[in-house]
Structure 1
Amino acid sequence: MGRSSVFTFQYIAIDTEAGVTPEEFETFVRGEGVHLPLYPGWRWTLLRGLRGERTGQYLMLYEIESAEQRDRYVTARGEQTEPARQF
């Protein structure tokens, strides 16, 4: 049986009270965010709500090569493992 990807997501809130606009945030992600370190075997995509109750909100979608890769860095309770802290 082959391995299959695991997907997880995280809501991203931008600090509009500090004056950060959605345009500034997206510019940052395109220019600088692509250089953020990621755990081996992980990839991310930034999603933005276009319609409905999530319009203008952001979500980080992570694709992880396998459950084993996920479990190496994140516990079942969503906490970092020792290898994640060392990373």
Structure 2
Amino acid sequence: MPHGGPHAHSSASWSSIIAGFCSVGFACLLINYRGSLGYGNAFVQDLIGYISEKDVSDCVQVSDFSICFSIFTHKINQLNDFLEQFT
């Protein structure tokens, strides 16, 4: 879920909107892409001149990683279920 602009940030505080999405089965990613506050001036400055490039790239990379991690976790769970037959 994107936060409000390059010079803002997502926090780990309670959000009823995120809780609502999660309660109906959605996974929510709170991405603090380059330009977000809270990670130092260099992190903020890195986005200057590259808006809609580096920030979008960061979001795509996190999404790709999350999909791969989810598939990997699912396969590990399938393997564990299979191996439990023999223990």
Please give the TM-score of this superposition, normalised by the length of structure 2.
0.26
Question: Given the two structures, how large is their TM-score scaled by the length of structure 1?
Answer: 0.26
**Higher RCO (C-alpha 8 Å, min separation 6):** 1
- Bigger fraction of residues in strand: 1
Q: Please identify the structure whose Cα radius of gyration is greater.
A: 2
Which has the larger share of helix?
2
